Amino acid sequence: MMPGREEALQLLHKYTQTESLRRHALAVEAVMKAFAEKHGEDPHVFGLVGLLHDFDYEQNPNPPDHPLKGAEILRSLNYPEEIIHAILCHAEYLGVERKSLMDKAIYALDELAGFIVACTLVKPTRSLSEIEPKSVRKKQKDKAFARTVDRNCILKGAEELQLDLDELILFTARALKPVAAEIGLNA
């Protein structure tokens, strides 16, 4: 049986104490759900992947422990293998083959959502409405800005999804608007 969102949220809160990581989880969940809806997939399942993809990071920050130890926890809680596989796919260093649209989406949207949030946080209005692909791409070239974001994942992820990066940037910014207040931004 598919776990509910409340159960997944409790799991996230059990393992993730920092507000910034919790906000990141909510951001990626929102973008994954919107992506699923746009492509006729199950938004609940995609959302669970987004919500839980980094739930074990604070406890296991070093590769490959993250997300392998998280996968063990999810298996012990009887999470479906499709969710666990997708979560493993977001870690490039594991070399897990991205087969499904969900696998490819979490890989592409995890880093992009984080980067767009960072770009929005430096705007005076902190408004997602101000996000434009040109300025996001310009920030991507600045290696000192949001330096923990893997730019290659963003580019390779858009390519694997066979989507134009500018369109994906706009889609991601729009998908974040419904949770803007929860993640410390303005719509």
Residue 125 structure tokens:
């209005």
Give residue 126's domain range. 5-180
The rounded distance, in Å, linking the Cα atoms of 165 and 151 is: 12
Residue 185 in domain: no
Is a pLDDT exceeding 90 seen at residue 139? yes
CB contact at 8 A, 155 and 168:
no
Pair 67, 22: CB distance under 8 Å: no
- Read off the CATH number of the domain in which 93 is found: 1.10.3210
Residue 63 lies in a domain: yes
Q: Span 101-127, mean pLDDT?
A: 97
Residue 129 falls inside a structural domain: yes
| 41, amino acid identity | E
Q: What is the pLDDT of residues 150-187, one digit of tens each?
A: 999 999 999 999 999 999 999 999 999 999 999 999 99
- 186 within domain boundaries: no
Q: Is residue 33 part of a domain?
A: yes
pLDDT band at 1 (very low <50, low <70, confident <90, very high): confident
Taking the whole predicted model, whether its pTM rises above 0.95 is answered as yes
Identify which of 126, 104, 106, 124 has the alpha carbon closest to the alpha carbon of residue 173. 126
Domain assignment of residue 187, yes or no: no
Cis before 80 (ω within 30): no
Q: How far apart are CA 162 and CA 89, in angstroms?
A: 17
On the question of pLDDT at 81 being above 90, the answer is: yes
Q: Measuring CA to CA, how many Å separate 147 from each of 36, 63, 118, 150? A: 28, 18, 10, 8
* Residue 11 belongs to some domain of the structure: yes
Is residue 143 situated within a structural domain?
yes
Give the number of domains in the chain. 1
Average pLDDT, the chain: 97
pLDDT at res. 64: 96
Distance, CA of 25 to CA of 162 (rounded, Å): 24
DSSP-assigned letters across all residues of 11-70: HHHHH---HHHHHHHHHHHHHHHHHHHHTTS-HHHHHHHHHHTTTTTTT--STTHHHHHH
